[in-house]
Structure 1
Amino acid sequence: MVAIRTNWQNIRQYIWLVGGLLCLLVALIFWAITDTKDLVTVTNPIGETQVQIQPEKVAASAHLGSLMDEVRPLEMTTRVVTAGNHAAEFRGTKFFQENKKTWTVELFKVTDEDIIRSFLQKQLDRKNFIYFRLSGENQTEQYVLVYGVFKNDDQAQAQLKQLNFKFPNTIHPQAIQFEKYASLVNDLGSDEMMGTNKLYEVKLKSAPLPVIDESLLAQAKSALTAIGSAALNTTQTTITRRDESGTVVDVQKSQSTIAQPQNKTKDPTVTSTEKKPVEHEISDPFN
């Protein structure tokens, strides 16, 4: 019985194998019959398909200025404002327009504004110091510290000889005209940001304090206490409960205070004596 079943399984496996081979053979025959077209190779010559640029057409194009509407050109007339970042000695365009023909003494130039601030903080008298920022297309950003405003070169040279600042040997102060730097200054000075309101100085002096008599304060407090106690009317109520034989069962006491109106005139003889609390005794009538 087992041998018959094994033979049947082998026969069935051979049938599946032969059937698969027949299907594969039929598919190959069908593909060979239907595939009759030759393989075509398509080539794309890069050199022949490139667009030739014609200079005369580009020059006449109307789209070259389209970016001017989206990206506006840099306006050099715009003044830079950095509020709260400069000291009071910082000057801008307005100062240079008013003092183009005047002269000054240039002390030194630095790229860091904090160096000038620290130098000014060490000076006792800062009223003649001025500093400004140089900036431009071909100009490295620098801060220049100058001293004084003079009408001509002779006055500036005379002041230069009188300066006694202790600078390193690499720093050489010189007299210079403000007009030289006028085109490189494009800031809003601290004097313009403060406005036209004048600043006034307030000097405070010490003043003696009045002496307060403690006895007067004590008398005033005692008078207020007496007035407050006189203005109050106190009533004390006692409730006593008794049984049938007369024995006291329960006693309840209550006290109420009623303020008298202040606008009524009082008799001095009455206010001088203290009012005693009125006592009322109520008995339970049901016992």
Structure 2
Amino acid sequence: MAAIRTNWQNIRQYIWLVGGLLCLVIAVIFWAVTDTKELVTVENPIEETQVQIQPEKVAATAHLGALMDEVRPLEMTTRVVTAGNHDAEFRGTKFFQENKKAWTIELFKASNEDVIQSFLQKQADRKNFIYFRLSGENQTEQYVLAYGLFKTDDQAKAQLQQLNLKLPASIHPQSIQFEKYSALVNDLGADEMASANKLYEVKLKSAPLPVVDETVLAQAKSALSSLTNSSGANNETTKTTITRRDASGKVVDVQKSNSTTQTSSGTKESSGAATEKKPIEHEVSDPFN
């Protein structure tokens, strides 16, 4: 009886084992059938967060007090005068402002000013030639040679057909308006510098010396001598004696002084008077005695 029970238990265990294996196989088959999509890898990139730094606003004042005299403010509107000797045909900002709407013939461009100066020296008539310098942040420094000043584009093109400058075949002149280059020109032209440093000519003429009349000079000398003789003064001497006496009438002190005065001879009318007069004596007594 016990053996039959043991066999039955073994059979039950085998049945459960086989059932579990069958369930496992069915689950694997079902997973293989249903899982037809490819595995997609999703990557989440790490975003770098940039810290936004806000600059602190600093209150600025227009007047810095004593620093205004020591550190002068930077003037951004100051025009630049390029170093070197420019020819009389060099033009600057003032010329472009006055002729902004006018047209001209652009002959060629050069990076060196000497090229344009040597070309101008070979020309017999340099009256209508001008040249200027182009410069800026995004502009390389260049010198442009132009010809003429015209009101319209048609006039510039008509003059271009008549020019005979014998330029190389690689150079193609064209008509342009000055307004095209006005923002790239920031120089002082030769015409402005010439007006600021004007030279004035001083003409000196010889002035003739006045002719002296000897007769008039002799008359003046004689009149002067007669005037001095007529106004000659005679000397008159005055003798003064000061006598001091005491209470009893005795002479205590005697002081004498001489004084000379000039009197005009015209005021004296004495025909029979002597030429020499005796000195006049004045005696002064002490009024307290």
> Where on the TM-score scale, by shorter chain, does this alignment land: which range?
0.3 to 0.5
TM value normalised by structure 2 = 0.45
TM value normalised by structure 1 = 0.45
